[in-house]
Amino acid sequence: MPLINLANAETFVDGLDHPEGVATGLDGHLYAGGEAGQVYRIHYNTRAIEPYASTGGLNLGLALDAEGNVYICTPTLSAVHKVTQAGDVTIYSTGSADRQMAAPNYPAFDALGNLYVTDCGAWKADNGCIFRVTPSGDTAVIDTENCQFPNGCAVSPDGNYLYVAMSLNPPRVVRFPIEDGQKSGRSETVVELPHTVPDGLAFCADGSLLISCYRPDTIFHLQVNGELAILMDDYEGTILGAPTNVCFGGPDLSTLFWGNLGRWHLGMHPSTGLRGNPLFYPDLVQLAQQAVALQAKE
């Protein structure tokens, strides 16, 4: 796929506080976090910015459920917060009894309502891990092998694999099989990305993968045949300013959005020629009730 012309890219909204995470809800709106705890809802049609909640700490990646609740990683508070549509904020998880979260970075749901959370640990300390939080709130570490600053993650469209952007040693994307919220096989490297800091992941409808990088200001496209191409690159760091997370939105998921940790805006490109693969938006209340009923039968 050829390099996309940045002339067709634009600022979707400006004035956000160094947004890293960005995600689309089932309501079609964009959601993002800010450096000082802000949780933003950006109305898709009007582009109105609504800072409707605060976690009180630096916000990174986020995911949404079927009811529009936001689950956002707040590493400065070592917690994943749940934010309702009304703006009520509660702690969703701080880790397990065996291991507390240190620096939760990015969450991703599977169809069963399991929330996979990367904990990047400290920079170059190789002390990261990956947690899983069930719909009932049970939290466990499912992977310590990929400890070299695990960053953004994504559940594969078929739900069989967790893909993780590893920012260090070496910079790469890995994946491992998952089953019933557990790691069920060995990790494998999907692609290496030397001299970069990969950060965010998003699957396209054709099964290819977008990889957004904190450094340099680049979004890569890993095609289904394994070929790695540059989708967009901005040596000036203006429209792409440390593009940390990436997502698709719009009526047919054909508009690409990205957060810019190094700046104050969300970027968008309406005509990349790619469509996003729909994310998992689980009904956690229903799934938790089903789990309780199943346990009662046992």
| Binding-site positions for a divalent metal cation | 151, 199
Greatest Cα-to-Cα distance within the chain, rounded to the nearest angstrom: 61
CB 14 within 8 A of CB 265: yes
| Amino acid in the structure at residue 139 | T
Out of 199, 217, 233, 283, pick the active-site residue: 199
Q: Give the chain as a DSSP string.
A: -PPPPGGG-EEEEE--SS---EEE-TTS-EEEE-TTSEEEEE-TTT--EEEEEE-SS----EEE-TT--EEEEEGGGTEEEEE-TT--EEEEE-B-SS-B-S-EEEEEE-TTS-EEEEE--STTT---EEEEE-TT--EEEEE-S--S-EEEEEE-TTSSEEEEEE-SSS-EEEEEEEETTEE-S--EEEEE-TT-EEEEEEEBTTS-EEEEEEESSEEEEE-TTS-EEEEEE-TT-SSSSSEEEEEEESTTS-EEEEEETTSSEEEEES-SS--BPPPP---HHHHHHHHHHHHHH-
Is 143 assigned a catalytic role? no
**Residue ranges for the binding site?**
151, 199
What the block records as the tokens of 149 is 């600053």
| Positions marked active-site | 199
